[in-house]
Structure 1
Amino acid sequence: MAGIAELVSSAKGLGIFDFFIPFIMMFAIFYGLLYKTKIFGDPSKERASRTISLVIALAASSYIMVFTPAGVTISGFLAAYFSKTLVVVLALLGVLIVFYLLMNILKPEAKWDLSKFGWGALLIAIVLGISIFVSSGGAGIFPGIKNINIGGLDSGTMAIIVVIILTGLVIYYLISGDGGGSGNIPQVR
């Protein structure tokens, strides 16, 4: 039984990633644009409009098979582009997960507006999201960004310091109440 790696290798050897997938993507984009803009009439009512849009989309997408910008294959470009896009989407997803957790833990009955509290939670979520992104090796994706060392501290020590500071801010917020120091200190019985 062939594994996924062998299947992908065979598909690469057959030119699926170099020609077929870029062709299908561009065909779908061109046909969708022609269909939506209704340049040749309403495709839902006129068969000729669908046929003309189909022929033009097929012809325009066929040019993808001969296109190679600056020595880089279109499949190489698309692979790098979508991989880096996935990393950005995952980083944003991580920030949103931390933000929603903070909003639900610190103020569960709050409405989802970015009031004074919400902006602070969003800032903490962004800092934590960036910290997680960098500590998991995400900075290596961007070639211009090097490891940041402040005062000779390595990234692990800086992450611990950031977590301690954020924990202190959360504790301060919980003790001080919503008014920033005007709340009552809970009594222990």
Structure 2
Amino acid sequence: MADFGNLFMWMNSYGLIDALLPFLLIFVIVFATLQKTKIIGTGEKKFNVIVALILAFLVVLPHLTGTYPPNGDIVVIINNALPNISLVMVAILTLLLLIGVFAPVDISSGVIGGMLVIVSLIAVVFFFGQAAGLWGTTLPNWLGFLADPDTQAVIIILAVFGLVLWFITREEGTTKVGGGLGGFFKGLINDVKR
């Protein structure tokens, strides 16, 4: 009896997972960006498809032919970073779901929205930098425990629960300082002054 594990092993043996999935990811992101921004023009879907195809091929083909320099293979960096980015996305979505259940308030322009933007940005930069080898192969000895995926998951879970507890137990009217990141920093300064 065939199962999904054998199917994915067969696809991996032919290089479909290694080449096709990054190709599709890059194509979809570039195509969606071109469609949304209308850089090439309105109603120019065929040109957007061609540009997205060319850019996706320019990323994947050097990976398949082995012409990327050592530690510079974009497909390997993407494959190493995306599982961690997915974990951060799941944590943020969980936080948003819990906030939506307990407090039906618009958080997009408040302190929490700003915090989510900053945490997401830091996580994306850290995980892609780690996957690209920018931070070195190992962490300093005193930070070695952070390299463990279980420890990373526990830290993210604790941060999510901390934010949820803060959001539930905060006093009403104390967080409405301003909108966006400016409001986040003003609220942070006000909290530190107390």
Fold agreement, TM-score > 0.5: no
Larger relative contact order, structure 1 or 2 (CA cutoff 8 Å, min sep 6): 2
Q: TM-score, normalised by structure 1?
A: 0.44
